[in-house]
Structure 1
Amino acid sequence: MSKVITPDLLAAAQRGFKTSFQKGFSGVAALYTSLATVITSTASEETYGWLGDMPKMREWIGDRHVKSLAAKGYSIKNRKFEGTIGVPRDDIEDDKLGLYAPRFEMLGNSAAQHPDEILFELINAATTTNCYDGQFFFDTDHPVGKDGVTTSVSNYGGGSGEMWILADMSRPLKPFIFQKRRDYSFTTKEDAKTSDLVFMRDEYVYGVDARVSAGYGFWQMAFGSKDTLNAANLKAAYTAMRDFTDDEGRKLGINPTHLIVGNGNLFAARDLLLSEQIGGTTNTVRNLVKIQEAPYLN
């Protein structure tokens, strides 16, 4: 039986669609909060002048040594995203709203996964995209030092296979930044009297939108490689990260905690980090770090 479309009916429909959306949204365990420092943005873009000055304590002799923020000029510009579903007026009149529950649940699922997609779009370009020091995020010649006296430091193992990443995710400042200007929110345009979409297309519109972006944090917190994922290369990356220093030559105390792998390296990572033996000898890298599965990597 056809129903008369009233404000109460539209409000009930919106509540149902939003409930389905939230069900889909909450059902996703996103990775970005583990891999990236989440920053609340207050403008169209944010400039991270503090990148390059990783805070460290020093002995207090004489006056305090004030470390000014390095003017690196690294900026992250927010981007706009949306997802929209149209519901024909006839379906609301004919009480067919239950047919749309799976679509709105999938929309919520997509919105919750979207930060991971944005983040790994950035990570997958890390060998060809500059970070705060003007070098590619994963590179062989990051300049470390001061007063014009620098040395080249590598956080990239080269190779031509699938990327794997060793990362220290134990600190408040992660290897990457996820920036939120406007968080993901469910919206609607459904007023039968004023909506041009209802008037012109006989359709009610619901959707989600956000203003977000992603960028690079401290390159010292990650080591990337496209070389074979084996014990020798993992040990080399681990040792390199533990040896990273600040511009004054002091160890940063980097402690790799996770090995981030895509689908192609997942079982190699499990064999490497979970096996008691490799080739008949004791596996010295067993449980060295945790495995972080990342389907969007590469």
Structure 2
Amino acid sequence: MEVTGATLRTLGTGFKTNYQNGFDEVDPSWNKIAEEIPSTTASNEYGWLGEWPSLREWIGDRLIKALTGHSYTIKNKEFESTVGVKATDIEDDNLGIYAGRFKAMGRAAARWPDELVWPALAAGFSSECYDGQFFFDTDHPVGDPAEGNVKTVSNMQAGGGDPWFLLDTSQALMPLILQMRKRPVFTQQVDANTSERVFMKGQHLYGVDGRANVGYGFWQMAFASKAELNEDNFKAAYAAMTSLENDQGGKLAIKPTLLVVGSSNQWKADELLKKARKANGEDNILQGKVDGFVSPYLA
């Protein structure tokens, strides 16, 4: 087969089909815990996360809530995957070997948001959110400094095991933010013989690239624990979330909806949420209390 620009474009159409087939096979799960927010610049600033929206009785003038001075910025990162197709394979019409590679590239592109979001959840023990504390921390400040009523609140349990997470995914904003600047785009190099890559390596390039990053929303909608996943610790986490208040002392009406675990805790999660009865024969009052999800990206 003669290597021309038209040939490369035709091959690119076939490779893109392989790519799309792989992409369509993946059922991503990041949207269970993250909100996609579009980005049109190199970064987005989320100063508004410092204010949890709530209504108060209107007495006198309106109480105007300005952004509280929190500076939380998510900077977009660049990602890519590239396959080099040998010029000799094109000349010899030996192209069947590439179908699987481009299909795998499509699957990788579809999994890309998952590979950003789920590790970010696990990294919440050591990554800052809008208030300057780690997303999962023991001393998130709550209250109005002007009123002198600031206190600290915890959204984690200490321990030595693999983490599990209790989340409220029913609010207007999910616990995590997937900031999308550029969705994965399949691209190709159609210069038949004058590019440096062709001259030096005898390869024609096809690939995918995108721009995005992940950050944290309201810490109040997430609770993490490294303690044993059992009934007492689950109840303590649930109670901690449902008792949360805003800066004015009003209830936030947090309602946990999802228990997220990794493979090491999946059977304990099933025992807590799916069994009708405990081992001692008592009714299991936690059955169906929240949904459960096992993430392959968590320990």
| TM value normalised by structure 1 | 0.96
* Matched-pair contact (CA < 8 Å) for 1:192–1:199: no
* Matched-pair contact (CA < 8 Å) for 2:5–2:190: no
1:96, distance to aligned residue in structure 2 (A): 2.0
1:165-180 alignment runs, 5 A limit: 165-180=165-180
The Cα offsets for residues 27-77 of structure 1, whole Å up to 9 and x where unpaired, read as 111122221111111221211100121111222233322211222111111
> Is residue 122 of structure 1 aligned with residue 102 of structure 2?
no
Aligned counterpart in structure 1 of residue 131 of structure 2, from 133, 144, 163:
133
Aligned to 1:101: 99
Aligned to 1:185: 185
Structure holding more strand per residue? 1
Distance across 2 between alignment mates of 1:49 and 1:42: 17
1:184, distance to aligned residue in structure 2 (A): 1.0
1:6-155 alignment runs, 5 A limit: 6-146=4-144, 147=146, 148-155=148-155
Distance across 2 between alignment mates of 1:249 and 1:25: 47
1:260, distance to aligned residue in structure 2 (A): 0.5
Aligned to 2:283: 282
* Matched-pair contact (CA < 8 Å) for 1:189–1:195: no
The residue type paired with residue 266 of structure 2 is L
* Matched-pair contact (CA < 8 Å) for 1:81–1:209: yes
The residue type paired with residue 293 of structure 1 is V
> Is residue 228 of structure 1 aligned with residue 231 of structure 2?
no
Distance across 2 between alignment mates of 1:67 and 1:122: 30
What secondary structure, in the 3-state scheme, does the structure 2 residue paired with 1:281 have?
A: coil
Distance across 2 between alignment mates of 1:64 and 1:110: 50
Where does the alignment leave 5 or more consecutive residues of structure 2 unmatched? none
The residue type paired with residue 278 of structure 2 is I
The residue type paired with residue 35 of structure 1 is I
Aligned to 1:273: 273
What secondary structure, in the 3-state scheme, does the structure 2 residue paired with 1:182 have?
A: strand
The residue type paired with residue 282 of structure 1 is D
The Cα offsets for residues 70-114 of structure 1, whole Å up to 9 and x where unpaired, read as 221111111111111100011112222222111101011111112
Aligned to 1:291: 292
1:223, distance to aligned residue in structure 2 (A): 0.4
The residue type paired with residue 63 of structure 2 is H
The Cα offsets for residues 158-206 of structure 1, whole Å up to 9 and x where unpaired, read as 1110110000111231111111112111111131144221122111111
Aligned to 1:204: 204
Identical pairs, percent: 47
RMSD, aligned CA? 1.3
Distance across 1 between alignment mates of 2:9 and 2:125: 49
| Stretch of structure 1 that moved more, 174-183 or 221-230 | 174-183
The Cα offsets for residues 198-239 of structure 1, whole Å up to 9 and x where unpaired, read as 122111111111111111110000100011111111111111
Distance across 1 between alignment mates of 2:76 and 2:90: 36
Structure 1 residue ranges, 4+ long, deviating more than 4 angstroms after superposition: none
What secondary structure, in the 3-state scheme, does the structure 1 residue paired with 2:143 have?
A: strand
